[in-house]
């Protein structure tokens, strides 16, 4: 058996375990009093450079977003860290795939702040990352209809604010399908 094959087997068998350990380390470090607090931005910048991120990075990244929103006064560059977290978790996923059993997303009240940050950034790819997080479903969770409802006004005017990539267009359509046209009536569309 070749070294490359052994490495791939080890990686595939243990990656989830390694990721869980990373999550256990990075999430508490978001709190300003944690002794490794200053390493969070460095770790995120390194993770975003990984070319082949596994699908279950989405779970860690989304949990990190919640923690960053909860502890929003801990980082001066919190907005960029939120956008990096979304990129780490969702940019590599197929926007055509509505369903996954690779990860479980826990939608929390803290994610409401994430919606504001992402839409205010004006970054179309970050908006697509957010919409992917809010619309994907699995046996463990359903799409975040409550958070998606907050996005309706921004989605209605999105074509005036950012260029719509094919990925973003696909995820906007998926959002409309999940939330329904009735959701847009309140914003005058």
Whether residue 6 is predicted with pLDDT greater than 50 in this model: the reply is: no
Phi, psi of 56 (to 5 degrees): -75, 0
Q: Is the pTM of this model over 0.85?
A: no
How many domains does the chain contain in total? 1
Q: Could you tell me the residue range of the domain that residue 175 belongs to?
A: 3-185
Whether residue 147 is predicted with pLDDT greater than 60 in this model: the reply is: yes
Cα–Cα distance for residue pair 91/8, rounded to 1 Å: 23
Find the range with the poorest average confidence among 70-79, 140-149, 163-172: 140-149
In the structure, what pLDDT confidence band is assigned to residue 162 with cuts at 50, 70 and 90? confident
């Amino acid at each position: 058996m070749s070294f490359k094959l052994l490495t791939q087997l080890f990686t595939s068998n243990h990656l989830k375990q390694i990721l869980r350990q990373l999550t256990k380390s990075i999430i508490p470090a978001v709190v300003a009093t944690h002794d490794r607090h200053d390493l969070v931005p460095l770790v995120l910048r390194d993770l975003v450079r990984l070319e082949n991120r596994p699908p279950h990075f989405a779970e860690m990244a989304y949990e990190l977003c919640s923690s960053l929103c909860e502890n929003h006064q801990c980082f001066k560059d919190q907005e960029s860290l939120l956008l990096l977290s979304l990129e780490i978790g969702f940019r590599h996923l197929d926007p055509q795939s509505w369903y996954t059993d690779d990860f479980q997303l826990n939608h929390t009240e803290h994610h409401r702040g994430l919606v504001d940050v992402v839409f205010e950034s004006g970054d179309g790819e970050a908006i697509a990352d957010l919409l992917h997080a809010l619309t994907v479903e699995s046996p463990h969770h359903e799409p975040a209809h409550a958070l998606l409802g907050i996005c309706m006004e921004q989605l209605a005017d999105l074509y005036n604010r950012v260029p719509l990539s094919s990925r973003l267009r696909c995820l906007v359509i998926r959002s409309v399908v999940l939330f329904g046209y009735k959701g847009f009536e309140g914003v005058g569309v």
